[in-house]
Amino acid sequence: MRYRVIALDLDGTLLTPEKTILPESIEALAKAQAAGAKVVIVTGRHHCAIHPFYQALALDTPAICCNGAYLYDYHAKKVLTADPLPVEQARQVIGLLDEHRIHGLLYADDAMIYQEPTGHVIRTQNWAQSLPAHQRPLFIRVPSLLEAAEKAQSIWKFALSHPDTHALQRFAGVVEHEMGLACEWSWHDQVDIAGAGNSKGKRLAQWVTSLGLTMADVIAFGDNYNDLSMLESAGLGIAMGNADEAIRQRVARSIGSNQQPGIAETLYQEVL
């Protein structure tokens, strides 16, 4: 087997625009697992928002969540390794959010916490309501995001979205340059802010090393800028056809969009 680890981003990659997994992908990934490959989800999502996909793939591996902020064991229901955002830095981020009038979604502990229901929050809640009760992510609305952050045991990241992309870019620039935090773009109007040094590629490499393997053993699929750290360090990094041209130019190979069976076809060629 040329590649022994299959690393998969979710949104825009494994998932269709309807947040489903193509049956071809499910079948190919099941065959890869049966052949001995490790399949791991590497996502910007909170672990509470991965349940339906983790279960559909019948995985036994931990998930890399919030762009590498932590590694979560679904079967033991616990965090294995993590680099959360210190509370003092979270306070500073919230102060800047208030100053710039940008609303943020706080990913902490086992829930996603918000003060104002932005379009991103409403869309995600609508998706959650379509799921069985036991698979729904936990959303909590609070009167004060600052108070919620101060009470949290672990702060994974802030997910920010704004209709004015330029305003969001300016904000991310301030956070990066003044605070030195990691800003990962998961969509053109969504940026995630987490502790410095966190990335999908870094956490994936740590986990792969714990298996006695190297990144040369990894085939990785992604579609956005927050995926580049793993796509560029994997033995074979593959960008989806719906990715920006700038991303596709930086990886080894591009395939069809997330609405086409390119992931399955690639696995039959490179793994099975």
Q: Catalytic residues, which ones?
A: 9
Sign of CA dihedral 141, 145, 148, 153: positive
Count of CB atoms within 10 A of residue 245's CB? 9
Q: CA nearest 107: which of 67, 162, 165, 51?
A: 67
Q: How far apart are CA 227 and CA 231, in angstroms?
A: 6
Pair of tokens at residue 177: 């340059």
Count of CB atoms within 10 A of residue 140's CB? 13
Please check whether residue 44 is in contact with residue 12, taking contact to mean a CB–CB distance below 8 angstroms. no
Q: How far apart are CA 20 and CA 53, in angstroms?
A: 8
Question: Any bridge partners for residue 218, and if so which?
Answer: 5
Please check whether residue 102 is in contact with residue 191, taking contact to mean a CB–CB distance below 8 angstroms. no
The CA dihedral of 107, 46, 198, 39, to the nearest 10 degrees, is 170
Angle at 133 between CA 56 and CA 150, to 5 degrees: 100
Please check whether residue 47 is in contact with residue 63, taking contact to mean a CB–CB distance below 8 angstroms. yes
Q: How far apart are CA 156 and CA 66, in angstroms?
A: 7
Q: How far apart are CA 159 and CA 171, in angstroms?
A: 13
